[in-house]
Amino acid sequence: MLKTLKGIWLGLLLICLASALLLYSDLDRRQGSARRSAARALPRLAVMQWSSTDLLDHTVQGMVEGLRLQGFEHGRSADIRFLNASGDNTTGNMMARDLADGQYQMILTASTLALQAVAKANAQRRVVHLFGAVTDPYGAGVGITGPGAGQHPAHLVGIGTFQPVERAIRLARQIHPDLKRLGTVWNPGESNSEACLKKARATCKELGIDLIEANAGSTSEVPEAVRSVLARGVEAFWVGGDIVAIASMSAIVSAAHGAKVPMFTNDPSDAARGALFGVGASYTQVGAAVGEMAGKILKGAKPNSFGVENLVPEVLAVNERVAKDLDAWTLPEDVLAQARASSRPLAAAPVPSHPWKIRVVRFNDAQFSAETFRGILDGLKKQDLQDGRDFDLRCLNAQGDMTTLTSIMTSIQAEVPDLVFAISTPALQAALRQLGRLPIVFSSVGDGVGSGAGTSETDHLPNVTGITTRSPFEAMARLIKQSVPGVRSVGTLFTPSEINSELYRKWFADALQKEGLELVAVPVNASAETSEGMIALLRSPIQVVGQIADNATRPGFSQIARRARDVQLPVFCFDTSEMADGATLALARDYYETGVEAAAVGVRVLRGASPKDIPFSNTRTETLAINPDLLRQYGITLTPENRAKAKAMPPPKS
């Protein structure tokens, strides 16, 4: 009997041990399943903006911060997808249809066009929809009839921000009491733009100002529309809340400056781009209010318990440098005081729970690389981030050596930083090879697609985005055709082993061909071959050297300029730093501002945006630098428009 009981207890013990073993072995699977279930339980949100402008970027940043303050932080307590239509109607409508299929708990949109696209796609009201950065929601045609809680569809609510159009025009009259003719360009296809125009017409009529208008339905139509307005003798130029005009701001600023006509806008950030002043809303605060409303709805509040209010937290920014060039537009002290009073940070930036680990990789010490790095540092400060408190940044420089670059990437991979900035094409390519899925933001790269980061600007590797600096080849080709007498052929050196150099050679050749000109290109494999390459190039019947920018020819540019000067040929280039080495003219991207733009993208990634949802974009900057003495020596005459925007540089080094 005792023996039988011992056998039973032994059997029970073995069964218990086996059960415990099975339970333990299944622990990882069950914990993983629990983690996946928890991830699925996070509210799924989508944030869509129509294009990449400061106004909409600030709105989205505010939305993310407002959600965070309500307890919904991307990756921790919310699953947020960020989308950008890059100003393309087809892309925007396709994104809207995808968002409205019911897979998201809530959609947040920035801009009137994004509101309209999603509202149309979401006609069956499957998803709660909140909006911001909308000038006139009542006139957007989405069923909103007024500001009350019962005056909008039950699933659709948000915040309107009617641009302070009247305030801007009255401020212009205050600065220049004799203002009689005001110009503007607008897109009739945007209801928000039409609403601003109606207010501008009424204000101008009251003040006795003639409003001279021209239509532009796309960014390609803006330059001609602006020229037509300027030709009609306007004394100032105004840009309201028009998406097409905002996306073409650099072209408008350039044309207005060329005509010596001041311009003002309803976006404070435009003052930094050359507007005399910008008066408008703090869209970071607007976005934060939308995000706060979204958080409350996620917690249980009903969308139809909120009204559609008009929120305009006003900010005024001025450009005193522009004012100094305009005798009749002296900024009064009270206007300057208003600008100083509103120059505080637009909204408190979210502080990370721990300092973000940021690494910057430079391939060499070229000036463009140094300027880009300086722009990144200042760009982080402009995003209200402080070194030591918010981030830990280290810059690593390969000094032009590929072996060193490989070692740098190996050490970065081991550190697992929160973000890597890659400056230049070689740095980006090394990062793509070695950094796996680490978040990468590139800058000062000629072509992100050609470098292997994707198949298009919107279809790219999920962990990579950035700012390209494709040179203004079309503008340079036109400039050469207009200014160099008897030009037929343009010469350049290029480096076949550099992807960006090969692409630049092709793009420049295509641009010149459109102007009826030929590109003669001679290959070099290293900086040491620059002088010999120029000897070969100068045997060709060229009338000007148009040197593309690449890593091999930059160090030897002084040899290019000297050889060309010996045979009395002008040298045009795409890098302003080469003016000091003897270039006649440079039409270049501003690499400092490129760094600032890259920093803004990087901060979006650090704060939760996915790189895959941020399209590659080419920098909006452009600088024309000249050596007046060499222009006269070679008989080169610039058009009045180019002369107006050109910056005279110091004579070349002896």
The pLDDT confidence band at residue 31, using thresholds 50, 70 and 90, is: very low
Whether residue 232 contacts residue 182, with contact meaning beta carbons closer than 8 Å, is answered with: no
**32 in a domain, yes or no?**
no
Task: Determine the Cα–Cα distance for residues 518 and 538; give it in Å rounded to an integer.
Answer: 15
* 539 and 641 assigned to the same domain: yes
* 295 and 375 assigned to the same domain: no
For 42-104, strand residue ranges (E) read: 44-49, 79-84
* CATH number (domain holding residue 550): 3.40.50.2300
343 versus 172: which is more confidently predicted? Answer: 172
**595 in a domain, yes or no?**
yes
CA angle in degrees (0–180, nearest 5) for 271-273-276? 40
Task: Determine the Cα–Cα distance for residues 81 and 600; give it in Å rounded to an integer.
Answer: 18
**271 in a domain, yes or no?**
yes
**14 in a domain, yes or no?**
no
Q: Print the SS3 string covering 300-355.
A: CCCHHHCCCCECCCEEEEECHHHHHCCCCCCCCHHHHHHHHHCCCCCCCCCCCCCC
* 51 and 145 assigned to the same domain: yes
* 112 and 173 assigned to the same domain: no
38's tokens: 């928890």
Most confident of 71-75, 295-299, 442-446, 451-455: 295-299
* 537 and 393 assigned to the same domain: no
152's tokens: 């909008």
**8 in a domain, yes or no?**
no
* 503 and 577 assigned to the same domain: yes
Task: Determine the Cα–Cα distance for residues 614 and 566; give it in Å rounded to an integer.
Answer: 48
Q: What is the side-by-side strand order in the sheet with 440-445?
A: 391-397, 356-362, 419-423, 440-445, 464-468, 617-618
* 333 and 213 assigned to the same domain: yes
Where residue 86 falls (left for φ over 0; alpha for ψ -120 to 50; beta otherwise) is: left
* 458 and 445 assigned to the same domain: yes
* 100 and 248 assigned to the same domain: no
Most confident of 269-273, 335-339, 590-594, 624-628: 624-628
**Domain hosting residue 449, numbered range:** 356-469+591-618
* 566 and 537 assigned to the same domain: yes
**292 in a domain, yes or no?**
yes
Instruction: Name the residue with tokens 């100094």.
Output: 324
Residue 20 CB contacts under 8 Å (≥ 6 apart), including other chains: none
Question: What are the counts of helices (DSSP H) followed by strands (DSSP E) for the chain?
Answer: 23, 24
* 133 and 198 assigned to the same domain: no
* 528 and 604 assigned to the same domain: no
Task: Determine the Cα–Cα distance for residues 298 and 623; give it in Å rounded to an integer.
Answer: 47
Q: Which tens digits make up the pLDDT trace of 346-391?
A: 334 445 557 899 999 999 888 889 999 999 999 998 887 888 888 9
pTM exceeds 0.75 for this model = no
Q: Is the pLDDT of residue 32 over 80?
A: no
The pLDDT confidence band at residue 491, using thresholds 50, 70 and 90, is: very high
How many domains, in total, are found in the chain? 4
Side-chain half-sphere CA neighbours of 653 within 13 A: 8
| Span 466-481, average pLDDT | 92
Whether residue 639 contacts residue 566, with contact meaning beta carbons closer than 8 Å, is answered with: no
**235 in a domain, yes or no?**
yes
**173 in a domain, yes or no?**
yes
pLDDT at 388: 83
